[in-house]
Chains A and B, each alone.
Chain A
C-alpha cells in the first residue's frame, strides 16, 4: 500500500480550507446570523442554547485565535453544534439520520453508471468512427452538459406524474415498518429507481468519454496487437487486454467527480423528496439553520477526501509502477 505524502498534503490543505471557511464566513457576513438564529429558536431559546450558538458563531468577547482554537476542539470531539431547526437535536444527530440514504443513492448510481459507461466507452473506442461511436459519443458529451435539475424534473414529470410508473417521493412506502424483509427492501429499491436514473446520465457520460479516449490510446499498444495476433476473440482482446488497462484514468476521474456527484444528489433528493443529506441541506438552508449547513460541508468534504484516499490506495494496488514514485 502506497500513498504519496504529497497527496496527503493536498487532503490536509483541503480539509483545513473547509474548516477555515466554516469558521470565517459567518464572521465576515454583514448582519448578524446569530440574532437571526436566536430569533428562529423562539421560545426554545434557553440560555444554554443561546450561549452555544454565540460561541460557535463569534458573538463572544474573545480574540479570534482563541475562538478558532475552541472551534477546533469542538470539531475534534465531533461536536458540530446544535441544529437551530431541530433544537435540541445536535447537528451530528440530524446528519446521521440522512447520511445512509445519500450513501445508498450515490453508491448505487456510481456502480450502475460505471458498468454501463465504461462498456459504452470501450465499444465506442473499439469501433471508432463507426455508427455506434458517432451516436453514443456526442450523446455522452451532451449528457454531461445537461444540469441534474433538468433531468430530475423531466424524469419526475414523465415517469412519476404522467405515466405514474414510479413513486414521486420518500425513500420507502411510509406505511411499511423499516425492517430486514423483502417487502421493505423491495420498496426501498422501487423508490430509489427514479433518483438513481436521474443521477446516472451525467456519470455515464463522464465515464463513457474518459473510457473512450483512454481506450483509444491503449488500443494502439503492442500488447493489444499481440492479443489479436494470438487469435483471441474480439471480446477477450477488447475487455481483457484493452478495457482492463484503460480503466485507470476512469478511476482518477471518478475521484475527481465525487464533488459533482454530491451536487447532483442534492438536487435529485430535493426534487424527489428523498430523505438524504441533500434534502436536509435544503431544509436547513431554507430555515437558515447555519450549523447544519456547515456540518454538511464538512461531512461532504470528508467523504470526498476519504473516497479520494481510497482511490489512491486502489491505484497503488492496480498499477505497481506508481510505487517507484515516477508518477
Chain B
C-alpha cells in the first residue's frame, strides 16, 4: 500500500490531479468563508459581465455567479463522490461474489451484469427521473448508482476469477477460513488497484451523469449545483445573449474536476498495468538503453 502511494506521488500527472481535486474540495468545504452571502440572493443587475465587485459576473436573475459557483461545488462534489463510492461498492461486491462463487451464482450475476451494461444509461436515467418528477440530490444518487455498477462488476469478476485458484487462496480455504474472510482478507487487498481505477472512473461518471440530468431539468431547480447553474443559464439563453460567464463558471468547475480525476486515473492505470507505463520508469529505462547502445557503439 505504501509503495503504491509512493509510486502515485512520483508521477507528475497524479500529483497535478490530486492538487486540483483537493483544491476544489477545500473550496467546497470553506464556502461560507471564501464566498459569504446566500448564493440565491439578488445582488446586482441582470447579466452583468465580470467586474471587481462580481468577479464571475451575474446571472439573468442578478445573482452573483462566483458565490453560486463556490456554493454549487458542495452538492456537485458531494453527490459525485458519494455516488462514485456507491457504484464502486455495488460493482465490487457483485464482481467479487460472482467471480469467487462461480457456477450458477456466477452465471446469473454475469447475465445480469451484461444485460444492464447494454441498456443505454442516459435514456434509462431519463425514464426513471421523468416519472419521479423533480428529484433531489439523493434520488439522483440512487438512480445513477443503480444503473451504472456493471463496468466495475465486470472488471472485478474477471480479476477475482484469475486470483481464485492461486495457491494462497486455496491454502486459506484448506485451513478452514470462512468464505467472507477469504473474500475480504485474502482477495480484496489484491484487488485494490482495480478498485481504485473503478472508484475514480465511477466518480467521473457520476459527476457527468448528475450534471446531464440536472442540465436537462430533472434536478431540483432551487438547489444551487453546477448542473442546475447550467440549466438556469441555458433557460435564460445566456449563450445566445453572449453571457459566457454564466455558463463558463460551472462548465469550468465540471471540466476541472474531470481533469483532476482523469489525471489520477491515468496513473492508477499504469500502476495496475505496468505495461502501459510511459512515465519516469520507462523514460529512465530508455535513457539507460540509449547510453548502453552508445557505449557499445563507441567500443
Contacts and interface: CB of A to CB of B under 8 A. Distances in A.
Interface of A: 9-11, 13-14, 17-18, 21-22, 25-26, 29, 31, 33, 128-129, 133-134, 137-138, 141-142, 144-150, 153-154, 156-157, 161-162, 168, 212-213, 216-217, 256, 258-260, 262-263, 266-267, 270, 281-282, 285-286, 288, 290, 293-294, 296-297, 300-301, 304-305, 308
A213 B251 contact: no
A167 to B, nearest CB: 13
B122 A263 contact: yes
Interface in B255-287: 255, 258-259, 261-263, 265-266, 273, 275-276, 278, 282-283, 286
Contact of A149 (B119, B120, B230, B242): B230
Contacts of B130: 285, 288, 290, 293
**B-side interface size class:** 35 or more
A262 B115 contact: no
- Interface secondary structure of B, over-half rule: helix
Contacts of B79: none
A281 B126 contact: yes
A281 B111 contact: no
A156 B233 CA distance: 14
B265 A161 contact: no
**Listed residue (A18, A22, A145, A270) with the most chain B CB atoms within 10 angstroms of its CB:** A145
Which 10 A-B residue pairings sit nearest by Cβ, starting from the closest?
A: A263-B122, A145-B258, A259-B120, A145-B262, A14-B115, A13-B115, A147-B208, A10-B114, A129-B278, A300-B120
Interface of B: 13, 111-112, 114-124, 126-133, 204, 207-208, 211-212, 215-218, 230, 239-240, 242, 244, 247, 251, 254-255, 258-259, 261-263, 265-266, 273, 275-276, 278, 282-283, 286
B115 A17 contact: yes
Given A13-B111, A17-B115, A267 B278 contact: no
Given A145-B258, A149-B254, 11 more contacts: A13-B112, A14-B114, A17-B119, A128-B278, A141-B263, A147-B207, A153-B251, A259-B117, A259-B120, A281-B126, A296-B123
A260 B217 CA distance: 19
B116 A17 contact: yes
Contacts of A212: 276
B239 to A, nearest CB: 5
**Listed residue (A149, A281, A288, A305) with the most chain B CB atoms within 10 angstroms of its CB:** A149
A149 B258 CA distance: 13
B144 to A, nearest CB: 12
B87 to A, nearest CB: 15
19 contacts: A14-B114, A22-B127, A31-B133, A138-B263, A144-B204, A146-B254, A146-B258, A148-B212, A149-B215, A149-B254, A157-B247, A213-B276, A256-B118, A260-B120, A260-B121, A285-B216, A286-B217, A297-B127, A305-B118
